[in-house]
Amino acid sequence: MQRTLNVVLTLLAAAPLLAAGNRENNTMLNRFHDYLRAHETRVAPMEREANLAWWEASTTGKEEAYRRQSELQTKLETVYTDPKAFAFLKEVRAAGVVTDPLENRQLDRLYLTYLGRQIDPALLGKMIAASSAIDQKFSTFRGKVDGKEVTDNRIAEVLADSRDRQERKTYWLASKQVGVALASDVVALVKLRNEAAVKLGFRDYYALQLALNEQDEAWLLSLFDELDRLTVGPFGEAKTRVDQVQGGRLGVATGGLMPWHYTDRFFQEGPNLSELDMNAPLAGKDLTKLVAGFYRGIGLDADPILARSDLYEHSGKNPHAFCTDIDRKGDVRALLNIEANQEWLGTTLHELGHGVYSYYVDRSLPYFLRTDNHAFATEGVAMLLERLANNASFYRALGLVDEPTSAKLAGPMREKERMAGLVFSRWCQVMLRFEKELYSNPDQDLDDLWWRLVRRYQGLQRPAEAPRGSWASKIHIVTVPVYYHNYELGALYAAQLHASICRDLYPGQDPATVIYLGNPKVGAYLREKVFASGASVPWQEFVKASTGEALSPLAFARQFAGPERAGTVPAQH
């Protein structure tokens, strides 16, 4: 009896403290709710204005547009430098008072956004200004051949089709001129980024960016090592065939092939090794109409996106395709430079893949979760749909070719698609490892690093004529730093997603023959399992929910390297 009385007295004594603790927690939770509302009210219009300014700059190339974009972006970024707001979010996280899953996910994402910007505003301003200046030069720079400017599309045409060895070399070198012009500026920007990262307590900017994107560095490198093991043999076999075909076409011994003898400037795309013209079925066709019709057929409306987009090449326009979500309310746009060929069919399918993802995120989600789940998720969707450009059955179903022509194209297109997967995978190995080492030591001989990696993972020789700074001709190093590995993670996700769609919607059918055309269940699958949830759950949970398994190289290896190559998978984190 006495023990019971003591317990009761103890509880009565503690009651005021418990009540005070609950009141304090409720007060903190209410403050967090107030913060979310106020923060959205403040930044949503700022983000929209900055995105519109970037769109104007990218479509016009005007100096004043780039200046305005830089100013607006700096203003927006400065919001997240507020140490008091960051301290409050840290306090809320530590207290554990947020129990609602959507609120907790917003808390985590906002915390990471603030974390990456807890640096001196002056340094942040320098970083943004430097990045914007380099981006402007990239967008407006045109390489020169014989003293005359040439477009990116023209360079691509020459490398894809020309049999003139000297012309190929000249145009390839022209594609590197932008890197020569900007390499020192890029290194200076890398050092600014590293300075900011170190002040935040990170080893370098590479480590910081992975942390901000919720990616474990050890897991990522382990996965890419495993991917290397799974693809090195099949890629070697594929490249031997590429070398034989290209060497034969150009009259060059396989041992003498140089980077300009391949069919794109970085050897990142799948070459057409047949003598069939895969562009011919598209000549004179309206690719915009074709692609929009395809999306409508699978239950995804891309017309509102196309209506706001800039579709064709013109002076001052950024030559690099992209898609952007202006306001998270449906204003989604694509910047394209469409020509009636297979490359642009694939690119248009790809960018509108990004577009429909953004467009169909559930708009009832909180603003800060109304976006794609992760960079590699939207890349995966884009790649999933882009691959149809290398499918003869897709051409036949669209009415671009008759049955005999489709039969002739089927084998070469399958080979090109397989080549594309393997070639791009090896190129991503170069980019992943180059960026890691670039930020680890920007003062090293970056040209030597670049060409060592190119040799190791792509099997290409370093030409004596390659200008110093060639590595800097890849715009992604500047505009989307520590991002490129997400393209390959996207390829892995696309392979898993395709396997899942085939399992659920096309049971018993060879996945290689599935083209989705005219099946609105595909669009419904993507809307419900991929798009709708936005960024409401961590990416690991999202991948399992949408594909049935954790992210790994297995499905990719089965699709591109052959089932016998699909071995063990690194542990997931």
The answer as to whether 252 is a domain residue is no
Q: Is residue 293 situated within a structural domain? A: yes
CA distance 246 to 254: 8
Burial call 39-52: b when 16+ CB within 10 Å, e when fewer? beeebbeebbbbbb
One domain for residues 29 and 99: yes
Q: What is the pLDDT of residues 90-127, one digit of tens each?
A: 999 999 999 999 999 999 999 999 999 999 889 988 99
Both 214 and 66 in one domain: the answer is no
pLDDT tens digits along 299-309: 999 999 999 99
Task: Give the mean pLDDT of the chain.
Answer: 93
- Residue 121 has what pLDDT? 86
- Residue 148 sits in the same domain as residue 7: no
* Shared-domain flag, residues 430 and 464: yes
67 in a structural domain: yes
pTM: 0.89
CATH number at residue 345: 1.10.1370.30
pLDDT band at 24; cut points 50, 70, 90? low
Residue 515 lies in a domain: yes
pLDDT over 90 (residue 421): yes
What are the C-alpha distances in Å from 421 to residues 216, 232, 288?
Answer: 24, 12, 25
pLDDT of residue 327: 98
Residue at 131 is within a domain: no
465-468 — which CB contacts under 8 Å span 24+ positions?
465/169, 465/173, 466/176, 466/259, 467/173, 467/176, 467/177, 467/179, 467/180, 468/180, 468/183
Domain that holds residue 81: 2-118
Q: Which two tokens stand for residue 220?
A: 């990522």
pLDDT classification of 329: cutoffs 50, 70, 90:
very high
Asked whether residue 104 is domain-assigned, the answer is yes
Instruction: Note whether 23 and 164 are same-domain residues.
Output: no
pLDDT, residue 16, reads 58
pLDDT for residue 571: 34
272 and 413 together in one domain: yes
Same domain, yes or no: 112 and 167: no
Q: State yes or no: pLDDT of 570 exceeds 50.
A: no
In a domain, 483, yes or no: yes
Structure tokens of 506? 């096309």
Mean pLDDT of 497-503: 97
Q: Are residues 450 and 497 located together in one domain of the fold? A: yes
Q: Which tens digits make up the pLDDT trace of 222-265?
A: 999 999 999 999 999 999 999 999 999 999 999 999 999 999 99
Tell me: do 70 and 150 sit in the same domain: no
Residue 374 lies in a domain: yes
Within 13 Å and on the Cβ side, how many CA atoms surround 252?
22
The structural domain count of the chain equals: 2
How confident is the model over 60-64, as a mean pLDDT?
A: 92
| Whether pLDDT at 405 is above 90 | yes
Query: Tokens 């594909």 sit at which residue?
Result: 547
567 pLDDT band, cuts 50/70/90, is very low
The DSSP bridge partners found for residue 332 are 325
Query: Are 318 and 169 members of one domain?
Result: yes
Which of 56, 89, 118 terminates a domain? The answer is: 118
* 441 and 523 together in one domain: yes
pLDDT in tens, 161-196: 999 999 999 999 999 999 999 999 999 999 999 999
- Domain C-terminal end among 84, 118, 152: 118
Q: Do 541 and 462 reside in the same domain of the chain? A: yes
pLDDT tens, position by position, 505-541: 999 999 999 999 999 999 999 999 999 999 999 999 9
